[in-house]
């Protein structure tokens, strides 16, 4: 199958997941599919409201399922197909999972048009912590850094 046709077929699958599961009341209208070597490894859909989990976005649920199936925390050589451009959390999860590629359908502007203002988060992230809307405070830095140093010095640690 031509690469563009493969991308479109998997995106269509992600869109079907979004439609099926949002109609069933599982969460927002978002779906995701993870593919390796042309084969579907995992599927995910938004479960925020049904699982009472603000992190249960389609991309995150698909990444979790793929990692469980492959028994790894890295998804190198995998492609994530999403019905919508990922929010900052999901985009970061794509990077942390070491995905090879991301392909999406609707844009974050399309999501904002129906009340999902991911752009707010995209604008907040580059701000210094003191200027963000979420109040944050730092304390016990030395203690936390000691734990980090001990982990780094452990020859048996699993780097990621």
Tens of pLDDT, residues 32-72: 999 999 999 999 999 999 999 999 999 999 999 999 999 99
How far is Cα 89 from Cα 79, in angstroms, rounded to an integer?
A: 17
- Tell me which residue of 105, 92, 93, 39 sits closest to 70, measured CA to CA: 39
- Percent over 90 (pLDDT), the chain: 95
Q: Which helix (H) or strand (E) holds 41?
A: strand 39-45
Cβ-based neighbours of 19, under 8 Å, separated by 6 or more: 29, 31
Please provide the average confidence, as pLDDT, over all residues in the chain: 96
pLDDT in tens, 60-71: 999 999 999 999
pLDDT at residue 34 in the model: 98
pLDDT in tens, 98-132: 999 999 999 999 999 999 989 899 999 999 999 99
Active site residue 85: no
Is residue 1 predicted with pLDDT exceeding 80? no
Is residue 82 predicted with pLDDT exceeding 90? yes
- Tell me which residue of 69, 78, 104 sits closest to 90, measured CA to CA: 104
At 91, the pLDDT band (50, 70, 90 cuts) reads very high
Active-site residue, selected from the candidate residues 59, 85, 124, 146: 59
pTM of the model: 0.94
């Amino acid at each position: 199958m031509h690469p563009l046709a493969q991308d479109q077929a998997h995106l269509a699958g992600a869109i079907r997941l979004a439609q099926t599961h949002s109609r069933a009341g599982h969460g927002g209208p978002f779906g995701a599919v993870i593919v390796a070597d042309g084969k579907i490894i995992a599927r995910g859909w938004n479960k925020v409201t049904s699982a009472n989990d603000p992190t249960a976005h389609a991309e995150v649920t698909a990444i979790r399922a793929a990692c469980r199936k492959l028994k790894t925390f890295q998804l190198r050589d995998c492609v994530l197909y999403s019905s919508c451009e990922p929010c900052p959390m999901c985009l970061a999860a794509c990077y942390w999972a070491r995905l090879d590629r991301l392909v999406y359908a609707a844009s974050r502007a399309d999501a904002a048009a129906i009340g999902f203002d991911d752009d707010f988060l995209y604008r907040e992230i580059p701000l210094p912590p003191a200027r963000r809307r979420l109040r944050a405070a730092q304390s016990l830095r030395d203690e936390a850094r000691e734990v980090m140093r001990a982990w780094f010095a452990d020859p048996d640690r699993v780097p990621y």
